[in-house]
Amino acid sequence: CFDELHGALGDCSCNVDTIDYFNNVKIFPRVQSLVSKDYFRFYKVNLKKECPFWVDDSRCAMKYCHIKTCTKESVPGYENGYGDSEMEAPAAKYSAEAQTICNSDDHNPDLGYLNMTISAASQHEIAKWKVYDDAVENFCECDDRDADADYVDLSLNPERYTGYKGPSAHRIWRSIYQENCFRPKINPYYDSFPYVLSSDLGNMCLEKRVFYRAVSGLHTSINIHLCSKYLLSEKAVGFAAPPDGEWGPNLEEFQRRFDPSQTHGESSNWLKNLYFVYLLEMRALAKAGPYLEHEEYFTGSPTEDEETRHAIRNMLGVIYTFPDHFNESSMFNGGSQAASLKNEFRDHFRNISRIMDCVGCDKCKLWGKLQTQGLGTALKILFSSKWNSPESDPPQGKLPLIHKSHERLQRTEIVALFNAFARLSNSIRELENFRILLR
Ligand code: FAD
């Protein structure tokens, strides 16, 4: 699967090999150390939101397995006029799906277990953050303000194999690609994989292609993580405790997912999409860099905060030197049509972030929400007019950097942006490990 992973990325002037070197040598060590700092370690998120699109099939399926109450009549709203057409489909299909889920054991709640522990010392610090954050004017609605939102210590909940798969996971990916990715053409095998054929992308305009490639790159990253931190052997550590075990790379799993002969030749494009979304987020960091350099990174500890600011400046300084940044100025340039395309782009992305509330495994939902929020923040920096400051005319031949912004980012957006980028950076680094293992 690495044979074709060379050369031009497409839709930008950059190539894979340049990113490999730049990331693995310069960015990876810096960004991993940065996200281990307290400011970036705690992420506030609401994991209890209802799925707005369909009855949560995974949890419902578990109920069906255990207490056998989840028939189609028990699906809320079924009797209240979910019509015969499309709305009925999920409920009507439900029992059969639930049965398949039970049989295929699609969800391992132990591996998806979320550790919500926050030490007493950290709780004390976090109470101070709230006072500080509340004094900051907010411009966007994020679910960290919900009554149900909680802080999660990301270091206690690494992104790794959880066993989440089967109909519930496929439904999420399918709705992301089929309903929200500006599909050029429906795959003739409508419900089957791959949902989008890379050969059709040439018929799409740049903006729609960028959208698809960003989402696909995120999908690649999630799947690389589960292959590189796979449960190799399990040790039971006691009743009701999450399993402990040996976690490490699973080469067979990686090959199954990314060998072109097993993916209709699509997987090399999926891997390239990872590099593409990395480039997109890196450009957002560069563009917002001068703004990010002046953030406080408040945690209440002056030493820690200064170290964080120093690490940020250091990493951004390296990012500025990247020779081939993604050039967002070539997008959304077609008059009134461009404005409506941009609105559509934003609405589709919002929908994807809402689909994350339908993920049926808590740990996957945590990282899914964090990474979509990070990508959403990057897209906002790149495409929101509020982030295009007229004062920051670029020096000749350079892309614009933002010096002043009319819009501040919330703490949770900054945390998500850096952590999402750190995940992509880690995936590219893990690819190098798989290359070595394959040799
Ligand atoms: P899937 O990954 O489910 O993909 C479905 C189909 O999409 C494939 O058959 C293929 O045709 C196509 N496809 C695959 N990759 C791409 C791509 N990059 N671009 C375009 N099309 C593609 N599992 C874990 O173990 N740990 C996690 O942390 C985790 N987090 C998740 C977060 C979210 C938001 C979701 C939706 C799922 C998560 N999963 C996680 C599940 C995981 O992503 C897979 O869905 C699962 O392992 C089943 O894999 P699969 O081989 O059936 O293909």
Dump pLDDT digits (tens) for 81-129.
333 333 333 332 333 333 333 333 555 667 777 777 777 777 777 777 7
Nearest to 372 by CA among 384, 386, 355, 396: 355
Ligand 1 nearest-atom number relative to CA 368:
34
Q: Is 159 in the pocket of ligand 1 (CB under 6 A)?
A: yes
Nearest to 419 by CA among 21, 7, 36: 36
Distance CA 273, CA 213 (A): 5
Neighbours of 386 (CB within 10 A): 12
What is the predicted pLDDT for the residue at 92?
29
Residue 219 among known ligand-binding residues? yes
Active site residues: 361, 364
Determine which residue's CA is closest to atom 27 belonging to ligand 1. Answer: 364
Lowest mean pLDDT, pick from 36-50, 170-184, 357-371, 399-413: 399-413
pTM as predicted: 0.84
- Using alpha carbons only, how large is the chain's radius of gyration in Å? 22
Residue 107 among known ligand-binding residues? no
What is the predicted pLDDT for the residue at 333?
83
Q: Is 195 in the pocket of ligand 1 (CB under 6 A)?
A: yes
What is the predicted pLDDT for the residue at 399?
58
Q: Is 226 in the pocket of ligand 1 (CB under 6 A)?
A: yes
Residue 173 among known ligand-binding residues? yes
Nearest to 140 by CA among 421, 417, 432: 417
* Bond prior to 90 in cis (omega within 30° of 0): no
Q: Is 193 in the pocket of ligand 1 (CB under 6 A)?
A: yes
Determine which residue's CA is closest to atom 23 belonging to ligand 1. Answer: 164
What is the predicted pLDDT for the residue at 183?
64
Nearest to 42 by CA among 171, 148, 154: 154
Q: Is 212 in the pocket of ligand 1 (CB under 6 A)?
A: no
CB-side exposure of 7: number of CA atoms within 13 Å? Answer: 5
What is the predicted pLDDT for the residue at 241?
52
Residues 6 or more apart whose Cβ sits within 8 Å of residue 371: 218, 221, 222, 416, 419, 420, 423
Distance CA 272, CA 280 (A): 13
Lowest mean pLDDT, pick from 134-143, 309-318, 412-421: 134-143
Whether the predicted pLDDT of 179 surpasses 80: no
Residue 350 among known ligand-binding residues? no
Distance CA 163, CA 107 (A): 6
Determine which residue's CA is closest to atom 30 belonging to ligand 1. Answer: 364
Whether the predicted pLDDT of 296 surpasses 70: yes
Neighbours of 116 (CB within 10 A): 13
Whether the predicted pLDDT of 237 surpasses 90: no
Nearest to 425 by CA among 14, 50, 156, 25: 25
pLDDT digits (tens, 9 = 90+) for 262-293: 888 889 999 999 999 999 999 999 999 999 99
Please determine, for the modelled complex, whether the ipTM score is greater than 0.90.
yes
Q: Is 434 in the pocket of ligand 1 (CB under 6 A)?
A: no
Residue 247 among known ligand-binding residues? no
Ligand 1 nearest-atom number relative to CA 270:
18
Q: Is 224 in the pocket of ligand 1 (CB under 6 A)?
A: no
What is the predicted pLDDT for the residue at 14?
84
What percentage of residues in the chain have a pLDDT greater than 90? 41
Q: Cα(174) to centroid of ligand 1, in Å?
A: 10
What is the predicted pLDDT for the residue at 225?
97
Greater confidence (227 vs 343) lies with 227
Q: Cα(208) to centroid of ligand 1, in Å?
A: 21
What is the predicted pLDDT for the residue at 91?
30
Ligand 1 nearest-atom number relative to CA 363:
28
Which whole number is the average pLDDT over 166-190? 75
Residue 160 among known ligand-binding residues? yes
Q: Judge whether 192 and 175 are in contact, CB under 8 Å.
A: no
Measured CA angle at 180 (ends 177, 184), to 5 deg:
70
What percentage of residues in the chain have a pLDDT greater than 70? 75
Q: Is 417 in the pocket of ligand 1 (CB under 6 A)?
A: no
Nearest to 87 by CA among 55, 59, 61: 55
Q: Judge whether 18 and 323 are in contact, CB under 8 Å.
A: yes
What is the predicted pLDDT for the residue at 371?
96
What is the predicted pLDDT for the residue at 189?
52
Ligand 1 nearest-atom number relative to CA 372:
34
Whether the predicted pLDDT of 360 surpasses 50: yes
What is the predicted pLDDT for the residue at 60?
40
What is the predicted pLDDT for the residue at 245?
78
Confidence of residue 342 (pLDDT cuts 50, 70, 90): confident
